[in-house]
Amino acid sequence: MDEVVAAAAAVDWSKLAERALCDSCLGRLFGKVGHGHTNEERGRSVRDLAEIRIGPCWICDGLTGRYDDLADLVARRLEPWEFDTFRIGSKVDPEIAAREESLWTHLGLTGPEPLKAEVNREVGKRVSERIRKEPDVARPDIVAVLDTAFDHVDLQVNPLYLRGRYRKLARGVPQTRWPCRRCMGKGCARCGGTGKMYPTSVEEVIAAEVMRETGGTGHALHGMGREDVDARMLGRGRPFILEVKEPRRRRVDRVAAVDRINASGIVEVDGLMPSDGGAVVALKEDRAAKSYRVVMRTTPIVPEAKLKGALLVLVPEPIAQRTPGRVVHRRADTTRARRLLAAEVVGVDGDRAEIRVTAEAGTYIKEWVHGDGGRTRPSLSERLGVACEVLELDVLDIHDGG
Ligand SMILES: [Zn+2]
Ligand SMILES: [Zn+2]
């Protein structure tokens, strides 16, 4: 405490005039001096030295004496929520901030602490004792924002993130809920009142089971890319993170949720693991190569040997791919350079051929097969000199190293 006393001794207290300060507000003038003391203790130790009048505090008007009550208020507000970590934020009357800042300048102080910081810490300490949970400044589950002027608490409940890999076993299922184009989700004749283009989605199947465990006001599914609606997603599945907004409960029976998801017959996951918001950014940036199974019809029929020869030639050739005709109405018309990493014939049966292709992230495989009216060059169709129609497309693997 010697440093605090020394700092206080250097202040010309007569400049404070007749203003009264409480112990906390007095001590907080040296709040960043020394360690291991509360501001109230700092204030008590320099009060005699400063000869400051006792009375209604000129800075806080009694706020620092209400930390226990405010902590009770916050703890009650947190009661219905399940969480492990929290942080207190606060809104302090701007007039208080103005008063204390003017005093710092007036007295020429070098290490004062703002009241807001003290409120966050002192109320946080008391709330932590009451609810037996740890404050976490960096990544709290819940932030309780205390408005000290109105004794009002707003909660920001941070999302719950769960990661996994999904397999999509059925065609005609989008990755995320797809609102009806005509009614934009309200429900109309075209969508049979569902408001959706497709009855369900990977997101809806997974989220339904997780929401049952967690409650929450909404959800979002973040995928490492997405496959076409009519393509299955097989193999080890596609990495995803499910975000549950404002979950009531965070202790999820993940095994039970996975069992119910897998019983859908539409989507399968191997497991769900806790994740965080930062991982969503990394997931979205991943540029993993992907392997596909393609079943196509060639017109006229192409012998297997010719198909094999064409793939051998095409694998090393750089592909120039203009934005596909099917999406150019909603994306910029640009040309991207992509490469195949491998391609092989699985089998040929009359006009049907099955091939496996591994390509760089972002390659439009259907377009590479049929050529997209010359927008993708070279293409398998162009190389063979026949029309190629894609009948089935499946993603077999995502080479993300995970
Ligand atoms: Zn005060
Ligand atoms: Zn509709």
User: What CATH number is attached to the domain comprising 13?
Assistant: 3.30.2300.10
Residue 38: both structure tokens together? 């509360």
pLDDT at 55: 81
Residue 337: both structure tokens together? 């350079």
Question: Could you tell me if 6 and 104 lie in one domain?
Answer: yes
Residue 376: both structure tokens together? 């993708």
| Boundary of a domain, candidates 157, 179, 197 | 157
Q: CA-CA distance, 52 to 218, in Å (whole number)?
A: 54
Q: How many folded domains does the chain comprise? A: 3
Range of the domain at 176: 160-285
Question: Could you tell me if 187 and 128 lie in one domain?
Answer: no
Question: Could you tell me if 12 and 111 lie in one domain?
Answer: yes
Cβ pair 46, 8 in contact under 8 A: yes
* pLDDT (tens place) for every residue of the chain, 402 residues total: 788 999 998 888 888 878 899 999 999 999 999 888 999 999 999 888 878 877 899 999 999 999 999 999 999 999 999 999 999 999 999 999 999 999 999 999 988 999 999 999 999 999 999 999 988 888 899 999 999 999 999 999 999 999 999 999 999 999 999 999 999 999 999 999 999 999 999 999 999 999 998 999 999 999 999 999 999 999 999 999 999 999 999 998 999 999 999 999 999 999 999 999 999 999 998 889 999 999 999 999 999 999 999 999 999 999 999 999 998 998 899 999 999 999 999 999 999 999 999 999 999 999 999 999 999 999 999 999 999 999 999 999 999 976
Question: Could you tell me if 30 and 151 lie in one domain?
Answer: yes
Q: CA-CA distance, 107 to 98, in Å (whole number)?
A: 14
Show Cβ contacts of residue 170 under 8 Å, excluding neighbours closer than 6 positions.
Answer: 232, 265, 266
Q: Which positions are catalytic?
A: 228
Among left, alpha and beta (phi > 0; psi -120 to 50; other), residue 221 is: beta
Question: Could you tell me if 9 and 150 lie in one domain?
Answer: yes
Q: CA-CA distance, 152 to 157, in Å (whole number)?
A: 16
Judged by its nearest atom, the ligand closest to the C-alpha of residue 25 is 1
User: To which residue do tokens 């202790």 refer?
Assistant: 251
Rounded distance from Cα 210 to ligand 1 centre (Å): 47
Q: Is the peptide bond before 80 cis (omega within 30 degrees of 0)?
A: no
Rounded distance from Cα 116 to ligand 2 centre (Å): 50
Q: Is 105 helix (H, G, I), strand (E, B) or coil?
A: helix
- Residue of 239, 168, 227, 233 whose CA lies nearest to 362: 227
Residue 18: both structure tokens together? 């007749």
Question: Could you tell me if 192 and 112 lie in one domain?
Answer: no
Residue 58: both structure tokens together? 């000129």
CA end-to-end span of the chain: 54
Judged by its nearest atom, the ligand closest to the C-alpha of residue 61 is 1
Return the CATH number at 193. Answer: 3.30.70.2510
Q: CA-CA distance, 400 to 328, in Å (whole number)?
A: 28
pLDDT at 401: 77
Question: Could you tell me if 319 and 350 lie in one domain?
Answer: yes
Which residues have CB atoms below 5 A from the ion given as ligand 1?
22, 25, 57, 59-60, 64
Question: Could you tell me if 222 and 247 lie in one domain?
Answer: yes
User: To which residue do tokens 């009241």 refer?
Assistant: 115
Residue 37: both structure tokens together? 């003391």
Dihedral of alpha carbons 21, 23, 24, 26, sign: positive
Which phi and psi angles does 238 have, rounded to 5°? -105, 130
Dihedral of alpha carbons 200, 203, 209, 211, sign: negative
Q: How far is CA 107 from CA 22, 62, 102, 111, in A?
A: 17, 22, 9, 11
Question: Could you tell me if 300 and 329 lie in one domain?
Answer: yes
Question: Could you tell me if 178 and 277 lie in one domain?
Answer: yes
| Boundary of a domain, candidates 248, 268, 285 | 285
| Boundary of a domain, candidates 222, 257, 285 | 285
Question: Could you tell me if 139 and 33 lie in one domain?
Answer: yes
Axis-axis angle for helices 115-131, 94-107 (nearest 10): 120
Judged by its nearest atom, the ligand closest to the C-alpha of residue 29 is 1
pLDDT at 48: 84
Rounded distance from Cα 183 to ligand 2 centre (Å): 4
Rounded distance from Cα 351 to ligand 1 centre (Å): 86
Question: Could you tell me if 170 and 149 lie in one domain?
Answer: no
Rounded distance from Cα 25 to ligand 2 centre (Å): 61
Return the CATH number at 349. Answer: 3.30.70.3190
Q: CA-CA distance, 191 to 182, in Å (whole number)?
A: 8
pLDDT at 47: 87
